[in-house]
Amino acid sequence: MAALVAERRPDRPVPPMTGTAATGTVVHLSAAAIEEGRDLSSTSGILACTA
C-alpha cells in the first residue's frame, strides 16, 4: 500500500500503520455483519469505499 501511494503521491508518505488499520477495518466490518446475521454482500459498498 505504501509503495502504491508513494508512486502517486511522493509528497505525502503513508504512515507505517496504514495498511494494518485498513486490514483491521475490513475484518471488523465483516465480523460485525456476521455477528448481526447480515449477508456480507450488504457491506460491499462500505468495503469498496474503505479500500
Measure the CA–CA gap between 30 and 12, rounded to whole angstroms.
29
Cell of 27: 475484518
Taking the CB of residue 29, how many other CB atoms lie within 10 A of it?
15
| Contact between 29 and 47 (Cβ < 8 Å) | yes
What is the model's pLDDT at position 29?
83
Chunked in runs of 10, what are the mean pLDDT values of the chain (51 residues)? 73 80 85 85 64 51
What is the model's pLDDT at position 17?
84
Measure the CA–CA gap between 35 and 51, rounded to whole angstroms.
22
